[in-house]
Structure 1
Amino acid sequence: MLDVEDSLRRVATTVDHHYQHIANRHEFMRAWAVQFELAYTDFRVIQLALQLDGKEHELLERFTATYDDVYEYE
């Protein structure tokens, strides 16, 4: 399996920062939106690694569904 540790860390950090920003009712910042969009690359790296592995289909489905939910919330 591909090493996705950095991608996992970046996605988790970005989602956490965005949640805190929204929960604290801060104003919209374009920089945050750009950061969130850049995190999509990390999401795709993780998704691709899970697809290539082929053994974690349930995890792939849950990860993708969770990211889709976060994206809709964003």
Structure 2
Amino acid sequence: MNDHEHLVEIFVNTDSHNEPKGKITFDRLVQLAFGEGADLNAGYKVTYQAGQSGEDKDLPKKGEVEIHKGMIFNVSLTAFS
């Protein structure tokens, strides 16, 4: 297997990203959405579409979730702490 086969395409705020298979963290999703310099102490909300139903679920701060091809994440800034 080459490196490309170990990547999964996900969408963060409609932008495509290729991430390693496995779990992705709340902090990594914030970085993908707002850049490597994102203030991780600010308030963020991360939601994602789970399963075939497309039901939105919240990802808690310090949480992580197993990623699947085509998974959609929405990351928004809610407040500064």
TM-score (norm 2): 0.21
Name the structure where strand makes up a greater proportion of residues.
2
Name the structure where helix makes up a greater proportion of residues.
1
Q: Which has the larger radius of gyration?
A: 1
